[in-house]
Amino acid sequence: MSNIKYFPPAPIEFTPEQREGITKEDLVDDKLIVQIAPYFGGAEDDSIELWLGTTRAENSGDYLVPSFTVTDPAAMNEVYFTASKLREFSGTKAFFGYRVNGNELSQLVDIDIDLSARRLVK
């Protein structure tokens, strides 16, 4: 038996403002743009599938379309969630993740979504 311990991919990278809660100000052309950091074993043409759920359980959510193709495995990968999908979760806390090439779901990030609200200026 191997003592190798595998860890899920790192979480999606959100801006500090996005981490405070997703509002309509975070959308650009009806998309929430986020970043996936380079990951161990990354290769050109890898496929990134985003996931959105209601809890940390993988069966509480769905893998989304479109998927994204990695062009430079050493660079940050810009991906997005559509506003139409985010609206399904508006008014709730959602869990954001991804997987690469159909493998293990990444570490999850939970963020409140309220697309009817405007961000409060501090």
pLDDT at 120: 58
| Average pLDDT, 10 consecutive residues per value, the chain (122 residues) | 70 96 95 96 96 95 96 96 96 96 96 82 52
- Token reading at 12: 């999606």
pLDDT at 66: 93
Domain boundaries, the chain: 16-113
pLDDT at 119: 60
- Residue 94: which H helix or E strand, with range? strand 92-100
Model confidence, pTM = 0.90
**Residue whose pair of structure tokens reads 């697309």 in the numeric block:** 115
- CATH number corresponding to 16-113: 2.60.40.2560
Q: Do the beta carbons of residue 39 and residue 9 sit within 8 Å?
A: yes
